[in-house]
Amino acid sequence: MRHQQVLDKLSPRDLVRAMDQDLARRVGESMLRSRWTRADVRQEVLPPVMARWECLLHAENSRVHTKNVAWVALATLLHRYGVRDKHITAKAVSAIDHLNKDVVLSDAFARQSVAIKALLRSAPTLPARQPRRPTLMTFLRVGDVVSIQLDGHFHAAYVLQLHRDRGGTFPVIEFYAGRFDRIPAAEQLTGRGMAREYGRGRFGVMGLTYLPDPANQVVAIAADRPNPPKGLPPRPHQGQWIVTDLLRLQDYIKELYEQPRSGR
């Protein structure tokens, strides 16, 4: 049983694809920065991936079958990239049983469940090569406003532009001041300022692709909003925005809102 054979049997496909892109991007960058030991994998990959995908896995309003598919996909993809976490593997094995009991996936998945469980319980092998970089694309548009969830708080951002280069297309966003205890309404953002002025709250985010977001971390608030957050733009000859990806963005969000004032 190979990892791709398992992933091909899972649905929804956007969920599997989005999770694989998150991991492939993070694993590839980590391999460039380190000598790549199993400890590096866990430290570099697992915390940010879980911070993002727990928005689906632990959400009360997410469908049980979708969560079960996500646990299986997560365990399979982590194993592909050299990680086996006991808690995640146990969740995935239990999820396989529930998916089969409720006949959620195909007969082929049910027939091969024993082999899938054996794969997930086996010792993983560290990848010898960097994963292929995903092609950059986005379904967001200029004027969209989204909420990004992290650690139980919600952070609103405005899509300023779409950046295109040889790697594809990704959105450039500007964060609003203040974080929220729930997804803010569009009216709460009217006239609200920037999280940081002079472009320090602007990010070009690779991997900010899907809307709706399969991880349930990014949620649409509004579309075609004419005005971005208020404040001073970057100075001449100053960097316009910071290039990052959806997982590294989580660290920047923590820095932006170190001493937050709750949104009203």
82 & 177 share domain: no
Tokens encoding 2: 């190979």
One domain for residues 186 and 235: yes
Do 116 and 16 belong to one domain? yes
Which string of DSSP letters, residue by residue, matches 225-262?
A: -S---BS--PPTTS---EEEETTTHHHHHHHHTSS--B
Q: Does 150 lie in the same domain as 46?
A: no
Residue 250 and residue 168 share a domain: yes
Angle between helices 64-80 and 38-57 (to 10 degrees): 170
**Residue 188 and residue 114 share a domain:** no
User: pLDDT at position 34, please?
Assistant: 60
> d(Cα 156, Cα 202) in Å, to the nearest integer?
12
Report if residue 105 sits inside a domain: yes
| pLDDT tens per residue across all 264 residues of the chain | 999 999 999 999 999 999 999 999 998 887 776 665 666 677 889 999 999 999 999 999 999 999 999 999 999 999 999 899 999 999 999 999 999 999 999 999 999 999 999 999 999 998 888 888 889 999 999 999 999 999 999 999 999 999 999 889 999 999 999 999 999 999 999 999 999 999 999 999 999 999 999 999 999 999 999 999 999 999 988 889 999 999 999 999 999 998 544 444
Our count of domains for the chain comes to 2
Q: Identify the CA nearest to 45 among candidates 34, 59, 56.
A: 34
Residue 127: inside a domain, yes or no?
no
Is 107 found in the same domain as 19? Answer: yes
Regarding whether 168 and 224 lie in a shared domain, the answer is yes
Tell me which residue has tokens 């956007």. Answer: 14
Residue 134 counted as domain residue: no
The single residue listed with the structure tokens 């976490």 is 85
Is 139 part of a structural domain of the chain?
A: no
> Residue 262: inside a domain, yes or no?
no
Has residue 135 been placed in a domain?
Answer: no
Residue 103 falls within a domain, yes or no? yes
* Cα–Cα dist 199/160, whole Å: 11
Residue 212 lies in a domain: yes
Helix (H, G, I), strand (E, B) or coil at 147: strand
**pLDDT at residue 35, rounded to an integer:** 61
Among residues 64, 88, 121, which one ends one of the domains?
Answer: 121
| CA separation, residue 105 to residues 58, 116, 212, 255 (Å) | 22, 14, 22, 41
pTM value is 0.92
Looking at the fold, whether 43 and 98 belong to one and the same domain comes out as yes
Domain with 44, as residue range(s), is 3-121
14 and 79 inside one domain: yes
Residue 188 per-residue DSSP state: G
Quote the DSSP letter at residue 187.
G
- Type of residue at 56: L
Single out the residue in 87, 105, 121 at which a domain terminates: 121
Q: Are residues 14 and 90 in the same domain?
A: yes
**Rounded to whole angstroms, how far apart are CA atoms 98 and 72?**
11
Which residue among 86, 121, 156 closes a domain?
Answer: 121
Task: Tell me if 147 sits within 8 A of 131, measured CB to CB.
Answer: no
Question: Do 94 and 191 share a domain, yes or no?
Answer: no
Q: Give the other-Cβ count within 10 Å of 36's Cβ.
A: 18
